[in-house]
Amino acid sequence: MISYLAGAFVALLTASAWSAPPEVPGVDDDADRILRDMGDYLRTASEYTFRAEIAYDEIVEDQMILFGSVAEIALRRGLDQLPDQLNVEIDGDEIQRRLVFNGKTMTLHNMRKNLYAVTDVPPEIDAALDRFFEVFGSSVPVADLVYSDPYSTLIENVQRGFVVGQHPVNGIRCHHLAFAQEAIDWQIWVEVGPRPVPRKLVITYRDEPGSPQYIAELSDWNFEPRLSEHYFTFHPPNGADEIEFLPPQEPQIEEVPQ
């Protein structure tokens, strides 16, 4: 009996020692490691550009309809006292807009209507994106890959995760990972080899009627784009009208206790 208990104790110790790195319970080590490698690769890059071809489901007239957009994303991480900078151009079925973060302000340009709005945001990209999200109710496409620590952003609410296998995306061999968190399942395909960039991201909204999906194929990864400052500066085009972000309004009803 004693030896049995001791054995169990040792097993417990071993197990806890073995899981010493802050791995997420429910996530396979391999899945966690691959996701972490990808996150580290993006986190430590000083600048990168990529293209996202996005398709997403929407229910229209009680029918699931697939809409699409293409986003060109350019990110420069703040180095040598330079601020984080971001430029995103989106051309889609429903929207056509540009988003420019110059380290001080976030400018949103609705190209279809030629309207733009500017708001002050914090200099760090994470806080800037969060602030923009609060003000505008929207973020950039595949924002998870733009935050300063993509791994932490992605893994934050994950409950389960595993490696599905090695599957190609547009001919590129990838680790195919699957994760589940409350209400959503998501999958990511990470390039096999020395450059572990994400090649595809699929989000399934389990709780939504019809379980709609958001699918982003990621390509044209460039880690030496050598972008000029001009790229992260917004100059209003001819005829553009400046509008404001809708100012906050007073709460209408006090919180009701549950």
Partner 1 sequence: MMKMRKMRSIALASALTMAATMVPSDLIADRKGSVRHSSSKKKSGTSRSNRSNTNRSTRPANQPGANTGRRSATRSASRSAGRRGYRAGYSRGRHHGWNDARRSRRRWRAVTGLFVLGVYSATRPKQTTTVVVTGATYYYAGGVYYQTSGSGYVVVAPPPGAVVYSVPTYSTVVYVGTTEYVYVNGTYYVPTTKPAENPPPPDPNAPTTASAEGGGEDPSDIEMHESADENYEVVAPPPGATVPYLPDDADEEIVQGKTYYVFSGTYYRAFASDGDTVYMVVDDPTKQA
Please give the residue ranges that form the binding site for partner 1 (CB under 8 A). Answer: 54, 56, 58-62, 67-69, 71, 90, 92, 94-95, 108, 110, 113, 115, 117, 130, 133-144, 147, 153-154, 156-157, 181-184, 186, 201, 203, 205, 207-209, 214, 216, 241, 243-246, 248-253, 255-256, 258
Q: Least CB distance from residue 240 to partner 1, whole Å? A: 11
Q: Least CB distance from residue 150 to partner 1, whole Å? A: 9
Distances 26 to 32, 157, 159, 185 between C-alpha atoms, Å: 10, 12, 6, 14
Q: Which is nearer to partner 1, 220 or 242 (CB)?
A: 242
Q: Which is nearer to partner 1, 155 or 163 (CB)?
A: 155
**Collapsing DSSP states into helix, strand and coil, what is residue 210?**
coil
Q: Which is nearer to partner 1, 19 or 157 (CB)?
A: 157
Q: Least CB distance from residue 62 to partner 1, whole Å? A: 8
Q: Least CB distance from residue 228 to partner 1, whole Å? A: 25
Q: Which is nearer to partner 1, 5 or 253 (CB)?
A: 253
* Residues 6 or more apart whose Cβ sits within 8 Å of residue 124: 78, 84, 148
Site of tokens 């992260």: 232
Q: Which is nearer to partner 1, 94 or 120 (CB)?
A: 94
Nearest to 224 by CA among 74, 31, 24: 74
* Residues 215 and 207 sit within 8 Å (Cβ to Cβ): no
Half-sphere exposure of 85 (CA within 13 A, CB side): 19
Q: Following CA atoms 236, 232, 51, 184 in sequence, which dihedral angle do they give, to the nearest 10 degrees?
A: -90
